[in-house]
Chain A
Amino acid sequence: MSQASAVVFQILQSVLVVLIAPLVLGWVNQCRAWLQNRSGPGIWQPYRVIKKLFHKDAVLAHNASPLFWATPYILFGCMWLAVGIVPVLATSLPFAPAADVIALVGLFALARVFISLAGMDIGTSFGTLGARREMMIGFLAEPAMLMTLFTASLISHSTSLVTIVDTLGHREFVIYPSMAFAAVAFVMVLLAENARIPIDNPATHLELTMIHEAMILEYSARHLALIEWAASLKLTAYITIGIALFVPWGIAQAGDWSGLLVSLGALVVKLALAGAGLAFLETVSAKMRIFRAPEFLGTAFLFATLGMLVHFLLEA
């Protein structure tokens, strides 16, 4: 594998994922509309929203500090970095050693802290409310996420996503009970971290339900566009981390041009299935009260811990 083609793969993957991220969101929304017997706006709707927002004039509150307008760019940078590191299309990318899964969790935490600070910057009641709830979900989700990653890393003795993909992707299909537990926990954390039902409802602007939307109420135009884009990138990044951890089959080696097509096809199928599954989960469950969130994420933590114990008892 030459260095140059690895770099080409890196650029290809980063650009591709950034471009298709709104499509993933559009697909989830469209599936949800179908499941709810609506015709839906079509899968291209997020692109139209982002384009519209970029055209508008930005409005900033009088007392907004530089932190407020810098945050959307930082958020976008964090998410772009995340999808550059996760082996979406290929392993052994030049950026891949920059972070293992734990460092990726740290990266998401960085983005979360910035968006919460921005929510508090203007000093409105909704902004602080959203920031408080977002940080609460964050601290509940992080231990569960870490435990999930621990369990998922036990089989390949590594937290590097590349090694996990290589170990799991190149051996015959075996069902590990510990991985099943970890996967359930991971899905629960994914729902919470991406502000989906049952923790948050991305479709409402009601003070009783909203977390993410409350923080970004003050944003407009290009800043809001970047935040929306970053949110769809975060969802895509989480789904692709899940794919790398639990169903890594099909991901190519960097520089392997023939494997690229297979990898691309596998990615499209997996993303489509994951999106449809997400829409299904959101349709069959109801939004929880905010103080039920500890129980929900506590269950995720329990599942991950059970997975670890199962691994030590049955698989070691």
Chain B
Amino acid sequence: MDLALFRPVEAAVTISVLWLGLGGAALALTRAPRAVTGWLYPVGAVVALALALIGFWVMSAPASSAVLPAGLPDLPFHVRLDALSGFFLLLLGGVSFGISLAAAGYFRGSETQSSGLICLQYHVFLASMAFVLIADDAYLFMVAWESMALSSYFLVTAEHHSEQNRRAGFLYLLVAHLGAISILLCFGVLHGGLGDYTFDALRRAELSAFWASVAFALAFFGFGAKAGMLPLHVWLPEAHPAAPSPVSALMSGVMLKTAIYGMVRVIFDLIGDIRWEWGLTVLLFGAATSLFGVLFALMQHDLKRLLAYHSVENIGIILIGIGLSMVFFGSGHPAAGALALIAGLYHTLNHAVFKALLFLGAGAILKSTGLRNLNEMGGLIRYMPHTALYFLIGALAISALPPLNGFVSEWLTFQASLQAPLLDNSVLRSLVPIVAAVLALSGALTGMCFVKVYGVAFLGQHRHEFISDPRPASPWERAGMFWLALACFALGLLPVFMVGELNNVTRALTGAGLPEQAMASGWLWLVPTSAAQASYGPIIFLLVIVAVFAATFLVVRLIYHGRLRRADPWDCGFPAQTSRMEDTADGFGQPIRHIFAPVYLIHREIPRPEDPRPVFRQEVEDRHWYWMYQPVARFVEFLSGHFGRLQQGRISVYLLYSFLTLIALLVFAQ
């Protein structure tokens, strides 16, 4: 590509339009579904990779903007590509490259007439996310935001024959629109009566402290609803599992991140003058969201639902980073604020990578065994060794274990919260470490949850009698998972490069960055503030563990021997081992149910002692339904019931309404 001819913003627009074009091609090819899955997804993957490269290039380049020859007359679309957009384009492109590759394998072999439609929605979804990221006026932003919601709605209801999926889709659409209205109002508040909705004008508008806070609250609610923040999370564990697995990966991995993008864009860029009270709000919501998400994830036995709850948890962790950053910026400590923002953004990227990987793994299991219920899986490592390896990498990454990527961003968040003694407000100063302890708790609970998932699904004896052995994942799926697993390693082992790039992003966005000595320690050591305070060298971790592994393996064989015998399991000499004696997913979560009992709403059916066929049934529900959603729903039904009385069905009454309206308007016009 000739850099002088193509400016990055134009290249990005071209690529997004290419995605739309692929969608159009899918529509034209609905009668040849095999061509759709075999060709269009891989081409879409290549396009995604190009977008990722552009994003990476822009992260350290000056911003560029353009006006598109599209939109309404006198209201053209403005686009702009700066470092923040570049980072999120990198995320979108890099992750959807892997997902599109896997999609080519996932949809193969089950093509129907609707394959073309799914492919259309899939690419429209991708393109609209790209437009959200490069939009430079509220108009294009909202158009792209809504087409993102709509195209993903159709993907959620792709398997619309099931009642449950239709319900999930409706709930998703409802919350998405509540959020969209809130965002629209936020832009209305921000523009301050100037009549100009370009982001540049919104940035320049002077707001009083009250209206700025209103704008913050609206943006936080609107984007929080899309991100799955507590208590607006209820749609997420319904909608994400309902979609086909690559789409679940896209929604959990990438779409939630557009909400994070919107939040950062509006709060840090458009509103600008941050107050620490806002930061505290975000911080507390983030902590609650992360703890709640993981506690409910531990109660699930549907693998995709479990992963969806983990998305809630990780959004909480990202919000903790962003909230910390706002607290520090708001109380005049820009260096610490930049560190926290980098931690939040790094976790955004990391979560996109490992969550997409895990959803693709769940998709591979679903495709080859037809199972989503963990309690029926078991021993899959013997049938699907590649998927098992990639899933293990994803599980270790999401559990925030070194030397993989999840640990880096959680570690940076801890380091940011260790800057708490800088704060003057003593309540904040002691609150921030407690939030960090909540983060540690949810990190450790995530570890427990993924031991459960991996142990129950891949290890142990198999619980399900298969008619024929499950087939390993297809080469396309393996390629997609390999790419994302590679990214988990790269982001985990060489964090210094990405932190350096993110430093450019925060500098461009807020004017503050990490101190000089932090970046001067070389590529081996990740140093958040100064080498004396803390440092982390993941490559040493990997090298030493691998070296000791190999050395011990050889030395033991040299000095002693390597003799090995296969036998039945020992288990304290108990002879009859069946798979019913292993822990199920629900059994594994029992300590959590016991310790955190007040969090859950548990329905139990305990059989009577004389029951000849005893069945123990237990269901865990979300309390939010009862104290928040159902009262609101009842109130809305009540209101609409009363408004319904206006609808008489007789034309004379309606004419009377028009007449009365006219009179009223005439009176007011006086």
Q: Could you tell me which A residues sit within 8 Å of B by CB distance?
A: 54-55, 57-63, 65, 67, 70, 73-74, 76-78, 80-81, 84, 95, 97-100, 102-103, 106-107, 109-110, 112-113, 116-117, 119-129, 131-133, 135-136, 138-139, 141-143, 145-147, 150, 153-154, 157-160, 163, 205, 217-218, 220, 222, 226, 290-291, 294, 301, 305, 308-309, 312, 316
Contacts and interface: CB of A to CB of B under 8 A. Distances in A.
A16 to B, nearest CB: 16
A98 B571 contact: no
B459 A121 contact: yes
A34 B402 CA distance: 40
A158 B533 contact: yes
A55 B560 CA distance: 6
A57 to B, nearest CB: 4
Contact of B536 (A77, A98, A126, A205): A98
A83 to B, nearest CB: 11
Contact of A125 (B454, B546, B581, B595): B581
Interface string B506-534: 00000000000000000001000001111
B451 A106 contact: no
Interface in B564-588: 564-572, 574, 577, 579, 581-583, 587-588
B401 A110 contact: yes
B272 interface: no
A32 to B, nearest CB: 25
Given A142-B440, A301-B437, 18 more contacts: A55-B560, A60-B564, A77-B548, A106-B411, A107-B541, A113-B450, A120-B451, A123-B460, A125-B574, A131-B583, A135-B452, A138-B444, A139-B447, A142-B444, A146-B436, A150-B418, A205-B572, A305-B437
B546 A97 contact: no
A78 B544 CA distance: 8
A158 B581 contact: no
Contacts of A153: 418
Residue of A55, A67, A217 contacting most chain B CB atoms (<10 Å): A67
A312 B430 contact: yes
B536 A218 contact: no
Nearest to A138: B444
A143 B444 contact: yes
Contact of B534 (A127, A135, A141, A160): A160
27 contacts: A55-B560, A57-B564, A60-B566, A62-B567, A73-B548, A77-B544, A77-B552, A81-B540, A84-B544, A99-B541, A106-B407, A109-B447, A120-B454, A120-B459, A120-B583, A123-B569, A124-B571, A125-B577, A125-B583, A128-B587, A131-B583, A132-B588, A135-B452, A138-B444, A143-B444, A220-B570, A301-B437
B118 interface: no
B85 to A, nearest CB: 32
Contacts of B525: 97-98
Contacts of A145: 440
A98 B495 CA distance: 13
Contact of B437 (A98, A113, A147): A147
Given A103-B411, A113-B399, A142-B444, A159 B418 contact: yes
A132 B591 contact: yes
A220 B571 CA distance: 12
B429 A312 contact: yes
Given A106-B411, A124-B569, A163-B532, A81 B582 contact: no
A146 B440 contact: yes
B396 interface: yes
B9 interface: no
Residue of A106, A119, A147, A220 contacting most chain B CB atoms (<10 Å): A106
A60 B385 CA distance: 19
Contacts of B441: 139, 142-143
Interface of B: 378-379, 381-382, 392, 396, 399-402, 407, 411, 414-415, 418, 421, 426, 429-430, 433-434, 436-438, 440-441, 443-445, 447-448, 450-452, 454-456, 459-461, 525, 531-537, 540-541, 544-549, 552-553, 556, 559-561, 563-572, 574, 577, 579, 581-583, 587-588, 590-592, 594-595
A77 B566 contact: no
A123 B396 contact: no
B436 A160 contact: no
Contacts of A154: 421
A119 B456 CA distance: 11
A61 B548 CA distance: 25
Considering the complex of A and B, which 10 residue pairs feature the smallest CB-CB distances, nearest first? A123-B460, A120-B455, A139-B444, A77-B548, A77-B545, A98-B540, A98-B537, A128-B583, A123-B461, A142-B444
Given A77-B552, A84-B544, A143 B577 contact: no
A100 B527 CA distance: 10
A160 B411 CA distance: 13
B549 A131 contact: no
Given A61-B566, A124-B569, A158 B532 contact: yes
Nearest to B571: A124
